[in-house]
């Protein structure tokens, strides 16, 4: 769990969305450097309003994990995280009992009982056995904690935490099944526990649950999927990608942004390449160009940076044959990229003979 900062104000994303202030929430998130896709953001707002968890599927490096992280940091919300992996147990994510403490408790009470009159002993021990299942001995996992914090936040009228169920395709059937009840009812039933359950049924106060999946390891069960509002994260449009690169690398010059995006756009267009570079790689490229003050590209420079976005032997061989094509694509005029940059940079507009009014050539 990453707790919120109690010395700073919190923003409740649900309240903003219910008040029709979606754009304000969008801006709060973009201030962290994360630029959500418009359709995805609209889906997220739907999930907030419905109180349903949000399931994001999509390619690696498309910003699935970064979205809930940006949300929690932008709104100063506590973030609980379950990272999918083989062998994850229900006890780890929901709750477990502190058996050692329970044993100590019973031993202490047995000792006390021995000092009591015989006719009082059994009632005393009976009560001690019931108290063995009290809150004190309950260890909450990240999911249990998120639902418990949401219930407490509702009592104190503060915003709920964010629960990130990351890479859920690695959870496996039994973990998915154990999440069905909390995701649907907002409750985790705990046998023998004095309170019976933890969590909160009111959907408008439940944790903000974001579930991600790469759809690689296991197919998610349909009851698990059906509890969510669904979005698919794809590689964004070039304009959106430029916005993201500029937000992630505020120091980058227009020529560094142009080189990075034109290069990766050309790589994505190469037939026969199995694994296309994602936003992760384009951010890495533009920050490498910015860090090393690269302003132009030749084949030698290109080869130095290939390692950032070519990650298999076959792709390496394929792209090395296309050196010249990639260099010329990265330095040639690109209508979408150059007009986007020209609208923000008059020098760039002048260099390419473009108007700094978007979409218009001189
Ligand atoms: N829309 C975006 N705005 C700003 N940064 C982004 C955006 N999308 C992705 N990124 C950045 O790209 C990188 C990869 O994102 P992230 O780790 O969230 O991808 P992912 O979809 O979870 O990938 P994986 O499936 O491999 O876990 C991060 O540094 C993230 O901040
Ligand atoms: Mg991820």
Ligand 2: distance of its center to the CA of 312 in Å? 20
Does position 126 have pLDDT exceeding 70, yes or no?
Answer: yes
Distance from Cα 60 to the centre of ligand 1, integer Å = 8
Q: Indicate if ligand 1 lies below 6 Å from the C-beta of 248.
A: yes
Q: How confident is the model over 148-182, as pLDDT tens digits?
A: 999 999 999 999 999 999 999 999 999 999 999 99
- Other CB atoms within 10 A of residue 222 CB: 8
Mean pLDDT for the stretch of residues 228-245? 94
pLDDT at 360: 46
pLDDT of residue 271: 85
pLDDT tens track for 60-84: 899 999 999 999 999 999 999 999 9
Mean pLDDT of the chain: 93
Pocket of ligand 1 contains residue 280 by CB under 6 Å: yes
Q: How far apart are CA 259 and CA 295, in angstroms?
A: 8
pLDDT over 60 (residue 362) = no
Provide the CB-side half-sphere exposure for 270 (13 A, CA). Answer: 26
Gap from CA of 266 to ligand 2 centroid (Å): 25
pLDDT at 128: 94
DSSP sequence for 87-114: T--HHHHTEEE-HHHHHHHHHHHHHHHH
DSSP summary character for residue 234: -
pLDDT band per the 50, 70, 90 thresholds, residue 215 = confident
The three state secondary structure string of 248-270 is HCCCCCHHHHHHHHHHHHHHHCC
293-319 per-position pLDDT tens digit: 998 999 999 999 999 888 888 888 888
The mean per-residue pLDDT over the stretch 271-292 comes to 91
Of the listed ranges 201-215, 230-244, 343-357, the least confidently predicted one is 343-357
Ligand 1 lined by 63 (C-beta under 6 Å): yes
Instruction: Say if ligand 1 is within 6 A of residue 60 CB.
Output: yes
Residue 74 confidence (pLDDT): 97
CB distance 210 to ligand 1 below 6 Å: no
pLDDT band at 359 (very low <50, low <70, confident <90, very high): low
Kindly give the number of the ligand 1 atom that is closest to the alpha carbon of 66. Answer: 18
């Amino acid at each position: 769990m990453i707790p919120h900062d109690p010395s700073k104000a919190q923003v409740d994303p649900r309240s903003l969305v219910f008040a029709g202030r979606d754009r304000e929430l969008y801006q709060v998130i973009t201030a962290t450097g994360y630029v959500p896709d418009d359709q995805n953001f609209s889906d997220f707002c739907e999930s907030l309003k419905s109180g349903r968890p949000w399931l994001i599927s999509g390619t690696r490096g498309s910003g699935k994990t970064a979205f809930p992280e940006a949300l929690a940091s932008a709104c100063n919300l506590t973030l609980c995280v379950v990272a999918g992996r083989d062998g994850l147990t229900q006890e780890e994510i929901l709750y477990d009992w502190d058996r050692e403490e329970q044993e100590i408790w019973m031993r202490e009470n047995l000792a006390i009982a021995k000092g009591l009159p015989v006719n009082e002993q059994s009632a005393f021990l009976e009560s001690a056995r019931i108290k063995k299942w009290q809150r004190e001995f309950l260890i909450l996992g990240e999911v249990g904690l998120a639902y418990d914090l949401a219930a407490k936040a509702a009592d104190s009228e503060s915003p709920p935490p964010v629960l990130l169920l990351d890479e859920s395709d690695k959870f496996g059937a039994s973990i998915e099944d154990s999440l069905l009840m909390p995701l649907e009812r907002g409750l985790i039933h705990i046998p023998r526990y004095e309170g019976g359950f933890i969590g909160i049924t009111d959907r408008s106060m439940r944790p903000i649950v974001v579930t991600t999946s790469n759809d690689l390891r296991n197919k998610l069960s349909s009851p698990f999927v059906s509890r969510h509002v669904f979005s698919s994260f794809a590689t964004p449009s070039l304009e959106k990608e430029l916005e993201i690169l500029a937000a992630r690398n505020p120091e980058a010059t227009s020529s560094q942004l142009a080189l990075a995006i034109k290069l990766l756009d050309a790589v994505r267009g190469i037939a026969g390449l199995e694994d296309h570079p994602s936003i992760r790689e384009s951010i890495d490229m533009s920050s490498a160009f910015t860090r090393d003050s690269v302003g132009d590209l030749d084949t030698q420079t290109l080869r130095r940076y290939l390692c950032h976005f070519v990650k298999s032997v076959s792709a390496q061989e394929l792209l090395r044959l296309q050196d010249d094509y990639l260099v010329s694509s990265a330095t040639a005029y690109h209508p979408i990229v150059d007009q986007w940059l020209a609208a923000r940079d008059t020098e760039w507009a002048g260099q390419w003979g473009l108007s700094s009014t978007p979409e218009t050539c001189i």
